[in-house]
Structure 1
Amino acid sequence: MLTYIIRRLFYAIPILLGVNLLTFTLFFVVNSPDDMAVSQLGAKYVTPEAIQSWKKKNGYDKPLFYNPDAAGSGAVTETIFFAKSLRLFAFDFGRSESGRDITTDISTRMWPSLAVAVPSFVVGIWVNICVALLVVMFHATRLDRWIVFVFVAMMSISYLFYIIGGQYLVAKTWRLVPISGFHAHGQFWKFLILPVLVGVVAGIGSGARWYRTLFLEEANQDYVRTARAKGASEIRILFRHILPNALIPILTGIVVLIPSLFMGGLLVESFFGIPGLGSYMLDAIKSQDFAIVRSMVFIGSILYIIGLILTDISYTWADPRLRLD
């Protein structure tokens, strides 16, 4: 198993390099440093001298990949690619266009994002699986058809509707929780209830419907019919046979959500005033702070690869036939 994990980690290196190179191309070839300077300075203050001054201040006055004026290894190290992209592998994110330390911002903002994302993630999966198992018990009945109709209706509703509706009903009308805001100290949990509730409710339609499809596929297998023929109860069949055998596709779906635990949700954090990484990314996009966007894209790539590795490892736990020596 250790050899397998090490091999997968080595496979991740060229993937990260490819993502890094693609991101660099989009930011510095398609959108040149001169374009960045113009967007940051504003059309009113754009002059050739101002552009050169801005580029020198932010380290964008060097060649992209190769510096013919530098001697020795400086021909490679004294370039924008080395300074702005390769240093990300050492988690040296540098400074934003406004001069703030990106590493400090990320380490500060990740905790509010995790405080919202982790409960939404765990509770959401638990609720979706429980609802899906309950629906499977009433498969091919009128209740099943109505519930599927409700699932499709919930999927068709915008996420923004759940946010605004939750703020109006729970916070403004019932006055149970604050409508927005976040405090790291004291009773911060009061500010998390509504975002977590909105995240769970908004995900029931798509999540429970997908789990229902997985469970129904397993329910039609021969081993389930054999268990029923032997007199096993429906509860035992659901929890001892169907659920364990559906774990592999469940784990595959969960890995897609892992980066969101760290990166945060753009809409949730923006509308609820949570100072997490989601709002940090959104503010960077609005202000065209490309240094922050590049760093967040790199972190997202690492988290997704880690999620894939964890999924492969969890497969060996869910299915003993996949265990490696």
Structure 2
Amino acid sequence: MLRYIGRRLLQLIPVIILISILIFTIVKATPGDPVGSNLDPRATAEQRQAERARLGLDKPIPVQYWNWITRSVQGDFGDSYIYKRPVIEVIPDFIKNSMILNIFVYIFAFLVSIPIGIITAVRQYSKTDNFFSAFSIIGISMPTFFFGLLLIYFFGVKNQWFPISGMETVGKNIEGLAHVKDVLNHIALPGIVLIIANLASLVRYTRTSMLEVINQDYIRTARSKGLEEKVVIYKHAFRNALIPIITIVGFTIPSLFSGAVMLETVFNWPGIGRVLVDAVNLRDYNLLMALNMFFAILTLLGNLLADIGYALVDPRIRVD
């Protein structure tokens, strides 16, 4: 297993290099100029040219890429034009805020959706199955920003049960359990939106995967031998149905850090998704490239963890 992981990590190096070239090329091809972000609008042409030279934007594109990638490998992603600080200092705080929101949501969604998916598969076409099938269709088809706006109106504006924006109450200097309670109140509405959206898709994936397995010949054989239904479902069927679910887990890992761009914008949540939108709108190229590389590497690592998970749940898959 260790040899397999080492080999896969080595294979990721050329992929990461190609991704970095692609990201750098696309960002440089976008219209706009970051020079204006650092200068007074009344700056002269000479001042703008001097600023371009300071940022290294007057050099050829291949030279700019080489300078950027060599600095990035050393942990220097340049300065953010928006926050006037090194990018490496800007990103961690916002990633932490996104993780606070997403980790709770995904843990809850997986713990609830997998048992529901198993029950709906075992009781196919029952009232329970029909209810959660309708729930999944509605949850998948409803845009998160629209659902978020509905919750803001009914629970935030009309009834004022929960705060509608931010991560904590502005102006309150509270600590300890009071601060935790305040943050949980702010998590409530965006958390509900994310939980519903994730439950809808995970229940459907689990149900479909279980239905494919419980109709196999070896499941009927296990039942004919007199095994208890719980043993047949949870020991034999569920283990083989885990492979598609593991795939989803692999794709979920980047989401824990990347945040939900649209949802964070609607609820004004200070997460990394909003930072990415601001970086695009304000031409903060250093921050934009660093974030995209971070998300790309997380996606590759998520795929690697999914492959390792396949081998753990299915001994027929060899990783040597």
Question: For the superposition of Structure 1 and Structure 2, which TM-score range results when normalised by the shorter chain?
Answer: 0.7 to 0.9
8 Å Cα contact 1:317-1:323 kept in structure 2: no
Match of 2:300 among 305, 309, 317: 305
Out of 280, 285, 296, the position equivalent to 1:285 is: 280
Q: From the superposition, tell whether residues 119 and 80 of structure 1 become closer, same or farther in structure 2 (CA, over 3 Å).
A: same
1:132 Cα deviation from its structure 2 partner: 1.2
Separation (CA, whole Å) in 2 of partners of 1:210 and 1:178:
33
Residue in structure 2 matching 1:90, options 66, 74, 77: 74
1:111 equivalent in alignment to 2:96: yes
Q: Which runs of 5+ in 2 are unaligned?
A: 169-173
TM-score calculated relative to the size of structure 1: 0.85
- More divergent stretch after superposition (236-245 vs 136-145): 136-145
1:242 aligns with 2:227: no
1:49 Cα deviation from its structure 2 partner? 3.2
Mean Cα deviation higher: 112-121 or 161-170: 161-170
**2:167 and 2:186 in contact (8 A); partners too:** yes
Q: Which residue of structure 1 lines up, in the alignment, with residue 171 of structure 2?
A: none
| Aligned mates of 1:230, 1:161 — CA distance in 2 | 51
Instruction: State the shift of 1:298 in Å.
Output: 0.5
Which residue number corresponds to residue 19 of structure 2?
Answer: 19
Letter of the 1:297 counterpart? N
Residue 156, structure 1, aligned to residue 141, structure 2: yes
Instruction: Write the distance in 2 (CA, Å) between the matches of 1:37 and 1:142.
Output: 58
Shift of 1:119: 1.1
5 Å-filtered alignment, 1:56-71, equals: 56-65=53-62
Normalised by the length of structure 2, the TM-score is 0.86
Tell me, in whole angstroms, the C-alpha distance in 2 between the residues paired with 1:227 and 1:46: 79
Question: Gapped runs of 5+ residues in structure 1?
Answer: 66-78
Distance in 2 (alpha carbons) for counterparts of 1:239 and 1:39: 60
Residue type of the alignment partner of 2:215: N
Q: Deviations over 1:242-266 (max 9, x none)?
A: 2111112111121112111111111
User: How many residues get paired?
Assistant: 309
1:240/1:319 CA distance change after superposition, 3 Å:
same
1:191-216 residue CA offsets vs partner (Å, 9 max, x unmatched): 22322221011223222112211110
Relative contact order higher in (CA < 8 Å, ≥ 6 apart): 2
Q: Which residue of 2 aligns with 1:70?
A: none
Task: Tell me the SS of whatever aligns to 1:257.
Answer: helix
Query: Closer, same or farther in 2 for the Cα pair 1:146/1:274, shift >3 Å?
Result: closer
Q: Which moved more, 1:87-96 or 1:177-186?
A: 177-186
